[in-house]
Homo-oligomer: A and B are copies of this chain.
Amino acid sequence: MDDYSTGFCIRASRGGCGGGSGGTTGTKCGRWNPTSEQVKVLTELFRSGLRTPSTDQIQKISSQLSFYGKIESKNVFYWFQNHKARERQKRRRVLVDEGNDIVHLNDNTTKLSSTKYFAEINQVSEPERVIETLQLFPLNSFNEMDSEKLRLFRDDCKENSKFTYNIGTEMDHPTLDLRLSFI
């Protein structure tokens, strides 16, 4: 019952803790459902500095992880793609949010009400250390570091003036121009 020819079927691992909400978690089998061990290993690899594994690396990782459950090379490939992209996205967003904090306590209610955000932002500093234990393979897959850093600096400080926040001037009611002038 668990297994179909297509593989990928049913694994109750994920919902387990939360009460499985509908216990029959498996239901649609279509996409890879990584086991916690697989995620753990992948995360560890990522944390060790691996960001864009080469084809060979992907194959080997996939091979190893297949011990824990069904997995294909493309899953590993996608996992790294997504993880990398989302970490960046997260970092970008957090940075901006952090900047926005200062903006909106400009008025007389100087409250500094948003200091709470700063508590967990320490994660944004990516440990860019690249593993050097990876001696068996050409290291050129890590060249992307440079372009990455450059792109991060591409940070536009454009501050278009076509929209004007009048936040600072009058915050008692935010004006909220629903005519979308601010976007």
Give A contacts to B, CB under 8 Å.
Answer: 2-7, 12-18, 20, 34, 36, 39-41, 43-45, 48, 50, 53, 55, 57-64, 66-68, 70, 72-74, 77, 81, 83, 86-87, 90, 92-94, 96-97, 100, 103-104, 114, 116-117, 120-121, 123, 131, 133-134, 136-137, 146, 149-150, 152-154, 156-158, 160, 162-163, 165-169, 171, 173-176, 178-183
Contacts and interface: CB of A to CB of B under 8 A. Distances in A.
A157 B6 CA distance: 11
A77 B6 contact: no
A73 B96 contact: yes
B178 A94 contact: no
Per assembly, the copies of the chain total 2
Given A6-B121, A14-B15, A133-B180, 19 more contacts: A6-B117, A6-B120, A14-B14, A45-B178, A50-B180, A53-B183, A55-B92, A57-B183, A59-B93, A60-B163, A63-B168, A64-B174, A67-B176, A72-B97, A73-B156, A74-B154, A77-B93, A133-B181, A137-B183
